[in-house]
Amino acid sequence: MVQSVNVLILFSASLNKDKVMGATASLRLGPKREYSFESTMQTTNTKTKIMYKPQISVRTPTAEIFALAVTYTNVINKQKSIDVAIDKIVTKPIIFSGKMHLIVMIQIHI
């Protein structure tokens, strides 16, 4: 009789130190019962805009069973927006979006 061993394997990789970071992990519960987790964070900074794009996914050997993707954008002194997408745990992706605009009010006292 062969006894299966549960094994957790962690691996972290910096894909591009300035723009993309990522990490992966695997959990083996037995033969053909392995789950892998992957997360990445992409960052973009310019003089006028900052953008963050984190992503998380969970996979089995045969399919992706969970996916989360977020995009946060800050256009300096103008607007901020966020988009969130959750997929694979429901039949249709769940998508949230939001925007905030900067409103400047000036008071003049005479």
**pLDDT tens digits, residue range 37-91?**
999 999 999 999 999 999 999 999 889 999 999 999 999 988 999 999 999 998 9
For 25-41, write each residue's pLDDT tens digit: 888 777 777 888 999 99
Percentage of residues in the chain having pLDDT higher than 70: 81
60 in a domain, yes or no?
A: yes
Give this prediction's pTM.
Answer: 0.75
Residues 6+ apart with CB under 8 A from 44: 19, 50, 51, 53
Give me the pLDDT at residue 25, please: 83
CA distances, 41 to each of 30, 68, 70, 88 (Å): 30, 12, 10, 20
Range of the domain at 65: 7-23+34-101
107 in a domain, yes or no?
A: no
Give me the pLDDT at residue 28, please: 79
Tokens linked to 51: 């953008």
110 in a domain, yes or no?
A: no
- Per the structure, the count of domains in the chain is 1
Residues 6+ apart with CB under 8 A from 22: 12, 13, 14, 15, 38, 39, 40, 41
Q: Are 43 and 55 in contact (CB under 8 A)?
A: no
Contacts 24+ apart (CB under 8 A), 33-41: 34/60, 34/61, 35/59, 35/60, 40/15
52 in a domain, yes or no?
A: yes
